[in-house]
Every structure is written in C-alpha cells, then in structure tokens.
Chain A
Amino acid sequence: MQSRRETDRKTAWCRSLLAAALMAILVAPGSGQAADRKKSQGKKSTARKSTAGKSSTRRRAAPTAALTGSAREIVDYTNSQIKQGWTDNEIKPSALASDAEWIRRVHLDLVGAIPSLETVEAFLKDRDTTKRTKLIDNLLDDPGYVRNFTTIWSNLLIGRQTPRRVSRGGMRKFLREAFARNRPWDKVVFDLVSAEGHFERNGAVNYLLAQMTMRDDGVQATAKTTRLFMGIQVQCTQCHNHPFNDWKQNQFWEFNNFFRQARRVDHRKYDPKSGRMVDDYSELVFTDFNEKVFFEQRAGTLQMVEPRFFKTRVDAKPSTDLRKELARLMVAGENPLIAKAMVNRMWGKFFGYGFTKPLDDMGPHNPSTHPELLDRLSREFVKSGYDIKQLIRWICNAESYHLTSRLGADNAVDNPAAGEAPLFSHMYVKGLEAEQLYDSLIVATGAHKAGGSGWEESERQRQTWLRQFVIAFGTDENDEATTFNGTIPQALMMMNGDLVDKATSAERGSFLNKMLSGAGTDATRVRRLFLSTLTREPTRRELAAAQQLLKENRNSPITAYQDLYWALLNSNEFIFNH
C-alpha cells in the first residue's frame, strides 16, 4: 500500500522533473533552441509552399496591421514565439477566423455578451483593413468592458455566492472604479491586500472580509492571496513541505504572519420594525498583534516563524502595518509574481488555456508552455505601468486570437482538452459563463429594451438567476462549483426556463415582435435571426429547414419563428464562445 502511494507521488514528481529538464534545455541560449530553430527553418519554407494553394484566407494581410510602436513590437514578438511552438511541433495553424466568427468572440471576451444585430451588420460591411484593431480599442472604452471585468473579478475575489457580512455592492464599486479608470494593476492589488475600513466606503476590504468568515488566523486569506495574485499554491504547505518543489512548511506561516493584524468588526443595529438587532455594516481594522506565530510541524513540534516574503525578512515592530509591508513587497521589482500571474490569467481568459495548467499554480514543479513569452509579457506589463488595457490589447491583437476555432488539416494534436500542452494554433472552444449567457440572451432578444424595470431591478433579477447554478462545497474556504456548464439542469433551463420563454414570447416591444411587424421576406427574417444569435448567416440546409418549418406552420408563422428562435438559442453554437 505504502509503495503504491509512493509511486503515485514519484511518477508525478519524475514527470515534473523531466518537464523541468526539458524546459531548461529549451531555454538555454545557443543550445537546444537555436538548433531547433535552424532545423525548423527548412521545414517552414516547405510548409509555406504546400499551403499556398490550399487556403487563400491564410495569406490575407494580418488583421492587426494598424498597430504601431511598442505594441507592434510586443505583438510581433508574441507571434514569433507562438509560431516557434508550431514549427517545433510540426503543425500548421488553422485559417484566420472570418469577421463574423471573430466579432462574436471579441465581444464575449471583452464586454461579456454577443454583439447586437446592428453591430454585426455594420462590422461586416466595414471595408477598413484596420477595423479589428479599432474594434478592440472601442470595446476597451465601452461601459460593457468595465461591467464585464467587474463581474469576473468579483467572482474571483468573493465568489458568486456572497458570504454573509460581505458587501457585493462595495466590492463591485471598488472594481468598477479600478477598471473604468484603468488603474494600474499593482495599485489595485496593493489596495486589496492592505485595505482597511467600512465595507461600503472602502469596497476593497470585502476581498479580505470574504476570506475571514471565521476565525482561522488568516489561513484562508494567506492561501487565497498567494494563489490569486501571485499564482502560487502554498496552501498545501500549511501542513507539510511542498511535495513537488522546495517550498517549505514554514513559508506558508511566514506569509500568514502578515495577516495576523487584520481583524473584522461586525456591527449590529436595532431594527425598529422587528424589534430585533440585525446586521449593520462590517469593517476591517488594524489591531496590534504582539504574539509570536507558531505552527505545528509534521513531527508534532511547534516552530516559531517571523513575517518573511520569500527571502526578504521584515523587521516587525508592534506598530508596523504588516499587510502594507506585504503589499509593498508583492508589487516591488521588475517582474514580480503579481505581473506574471496576471499575464497568465489574462491570456487564459482569452484563449481558455493559459501558459500553465492550472492557471494559478505556477512554480518549478509546473513549468509553463511558453516560458520566454510569459516572461517577456510580464516584464512589458510592468514597464507599461501595469496597464491592464494595454495587456489586453497585446493579447487580442496577437495572431492566435484571430484564428478560427475550426481545426485545420494539420493541427489536430493541438488539443489541450485532451491534456496536451496548448500551442494556440486555433481558437479553443469555451463554454459561456453564466453571466455571459444571461447577458447574451438579453442582447439577442432585446429583453432589456422590452422591460421597463430600472437598473437596480434588472441587476437583482440577474443575480437571482445566476445563483441557481452555484453549489457550495461546505468548507470554510467558501469554495464553490457551478452546475452551469454542460449539465442537464442547464439544458432544462434553456429549454423550459423563464428567460428563454420570455425571449421567444414575441410580446410587444420584443425583438421577435418588431422583426415580424417590420417589412422583409421570410429569407431576410431567417437570416437576421441567425445573425442576432449565432452571428453568422444560415447555411443552405439550415435555410431550407427553416422554410420547411414555416411551411408546416403556415397558419401561424409566429409559431414557426418562435420555434426557430428557440432552436437557435438552444443550440451548441449559441452556448459556446469559439
């Protein structure tokens, strides 16, 4: 028994060692890589010849030719590094995505919902060769960008289910300001780690309040902060040394030390209506912490630790604000972990896979797929002043982001869903997040225009709808899973739920109603339904099937349109971002 457990470990350990060794060879200048490059150069030219005749789209001008200056240089570097992976693995990338495929993707990724019919039609007509780069810029200035990234980071920081005595509103307000003003990422991280005060007046405190739902001496705050912002998983070193690298148990507790002065104060107030005391506001305050921190080693002995950030010791006096010290150390340097972690997370957001898997487990035991690229992008990110929009611009302008999700003739091995390292030679199909689906249904169906309810009410409805898909794990780390992606409950919700039912209702003011009362042939109407949901024209077979449907429901064309619309919204193509 003992031996099998050892084998488990050893195989994983050996695998990571082997991978690390391979990486070392690849990275070593002048050795492996140079040789590989030379070897592949011969191949490259033959590859070009063979594809020239096959695909005209491949030879189209780069869609992001409008870039200039440092952005141009960084995107070129990114392209060359990614291409190197293709040549090394002897694959050829998929063709460029059509404008229709691409505009859907970039809207979902940047503003969190599919584009409206009008937007799609205008973009397809636009002859400007730099329109893709321009659209990226426009979407980054769209209020939808702020809302989308506020949602993404609220979920990451406090979860989809707001823990008791944490203010989701406060958290969102802080994030909204951060993304609207494009605050430098290091400043945002600094605030989240070091904030103090009232949970609505200083929304940043909600991050830590959500990690302090019980008295656990800051254990959860330690685990989450290192994982989320620095992309390293030290939580298992809480109880023992890291199994696959040289992180020691004391390191967890050294990090943990920084959080010991943080205290939450939950205020209560008298509620005259019920005559009872009820929850009022909560706040995060600084308290003197004079005790030493001890932890229990595997052998059962207690060891004392001092606050230490990797190799940097902090000279702590009782008056030293340790969280501020930690925040300062986290953001210091030319290429700190917070930059790498953010670049990796951001890349992963746009491609579905980052440079490491999982995204937030970087370290010598889990080498990244494109180490030089990750390194360069994070250095540039720091140099740019932690400019989040700039980072997004680099990623969205990179060639890989413009490739179709359709596999080419020669890149079937690029299949990270099967556990392969991603080579970014085609776009990977991603499931829509619950929020993306909800907001896309709103866009597709014009539900926001139909209903008369205000912003607060619609936000409340959105939150209620989203909550049905969350299951909590029942641990103190407030970790949660979603039953959303690819499950029967999701299918049932799409087939029979209120939202789709309302969308296809054709009541006054709805998209369907307006389209049916306006002019146009059946073929035009069918085409517009496809464009407004799947962002593409129907195929000939689909058009024929739709016409058949209309024919069978001659007496009630509205029924036919409703059912076609239902089928479009329920299709695999609608629920995937590709």
Chain B
Amino acid sequence: MNALPVQVTRLLRSGRPAGSSLPIWLTFAGTFAVAAVVVGIGGGRFVTVANLQNIAQRSVALGLVTVGQALVVLAGSLDLSVAYVVSVAALTASLVMAGDPARMALGVGAALLAGALAGLVNGLVITGLRVNAFIATLGVAYILRGAINAAFDNFAGAVPDQFQVLGYDVVAGVPVSLLLLGGVVAGAWYLMHRTRFGYHVYAVGGDAEAARLSGVRPHRVLVGVHVLSGLCAATSGVFLASRLGAGAPWVGPDGGYDLESIAAVVLGGTALAGGKGRLLGPLAAVAILAVLDSVFNFFQADPFLRTLVRGLVIVGAVALYGLRGAGERS
C-alpha cells in the first residue's frame, strides 16, 4: 500500500509513463509490407494513392471513437455506449443542419453537445451512483438505443453538400477526414502526455485509491474522460453523417464501434485494468485493422471470413501480450 503513492509521484514527476507504442507501429509496418506483397502476388497494387486514401478513410470513424475509448480505458473505466452516441450525434447533426449550409456550425455544435452530455451521464452514474462502468455504460447504451430506434427507422435530416467535404475531399493528397483525426489525436496526445490532467488519468487508472491519497480527485478525472469519450464518439458521428449525407439510427451499432474500439485499445497495448499504455498504440491497431480490411476487400473475401480472422487476430495478439507480460514477470 505504501509503495503505490511513491509510484504515482514518480509517474507525476517523470512525465513519461512507462512503455512505448513503437512495437505496435512496427507491427503495423510489418502488416502493411505483408499486405503489399500479398496483394502484389495477387496481381494488384497495394501502394497507390487511392488505396492509401481508402485505408485512411476507413480508419477515421473507428479511430476517432478509439481515441476516446483509450482515454477511458487508461483511467481504468470502459465505455460501451459509444456506438449509440455515434448514432445520436450523426442524427443530431443531420437533423439540425437540415440541408442548410448556414446551419453547419450549429449542427456540429449540437452533435458535440449531445455526445458530451451522454459522456457526462456515464461519468456521473459511475462516480455518483458508484455503478460498475460496464453496467453503467451498457445501461446508457440501451437507453440511447431504445430512444433512437423508437424515434427513427430510417435516414433522418440531411447535411448540406458543402459539409460532405469533410467526408470525401482530399487536400494535397491527404483526405480532410484524416486531418480531422490527426487534429483530435494531437489534442488528445497533448492532453495525456503534457498536462496535469493526463498524469492524473494515468494515476487514477493505475490505482484510484492511491491517486486519491496523493491529492488527485478520481471522480473528476473519471467524469472528464467520459465526457471526452462522448465528444470523440460524437465527432465520429458527425464524420459519418458527412460521409452518408444524413444520420441513421444504425450507423453506430452497424460499425460495431463499441466492441471494436475496446478491442483496438487492447490490441494497442493498453491494459483493460487501466493505467498502462500509450495513446498512439490503439491508433496503430486501428490502422492494422484497416489494412486487413483493405486486403480482404482486394480479394473480395467473404465478409464472414473477415469477421472470423478479426476475432482470431484480436485474441491472438492479446494472448501474445499476456505471454510477454508473464515472461517479464518471471
């Protein structure tokens, strides 16, 4: 018990939590190289601007959600509501904009507000009512699912054509949406690795009680990360609305963003128990999944085979971490 606060203080002072996301980026590079060779043997070209842009676009929606999920998991919590927050935000943006270019900012603002509110509710239920994060966010997910499915059964509202720039346009070879993801990641990275709040997140995730004894307020930190996760999911919803031209109740759950974002966070080397891992690792995992998707697309593989391989990759990779961790301990 005594040793833990010391560890937290060290963490607060050193400014660099243990670990690095480099191995996962190397894995990404390896996967990318293998994918290029395999597609090359299959008679196609993998490294083309169009394909790279395609991979980037695929990474954006899951990537945005994963940034928020990573913050939540680093703080030792979990967010199962993100998929429905994505839908709520997409619907809000598209209904508020209603095809009117003058209302774009208003629509984005309303969607982000909805996401932040959902996150706030998650955070308050977890900290105020002391409900387990799994149950709290599952409950909020059910509430949102019921509400949007009762209110909508198809695409609703519309985003103006100008807003679809976000989903489709490319500036100097880089998709606009990738710039959005880059911006969100940069913000989150700065927050996690250069501010007091970030250190507090690691401290609370490592040991909430020890963090509290060292003067951190775990409840504020938890509410904070859940609001940020809501905001990230809402950003993803806004992106999807721009991509699809309107919001629909199924855009979030059909993407499987809840479980996939948690899988990406864990694949990226972040411990589900919290406190351990870097923010960029999960993003590398998202990129790896997008590369796999692109290879499956090239060979027009059965979507069920894709699901199967995804399951094996997720469990296999996490098992490797477990074995490596066991090796280091002994």
A and B found bound together: no
* Residues of B that sit less than 8 Å from A by CB: none
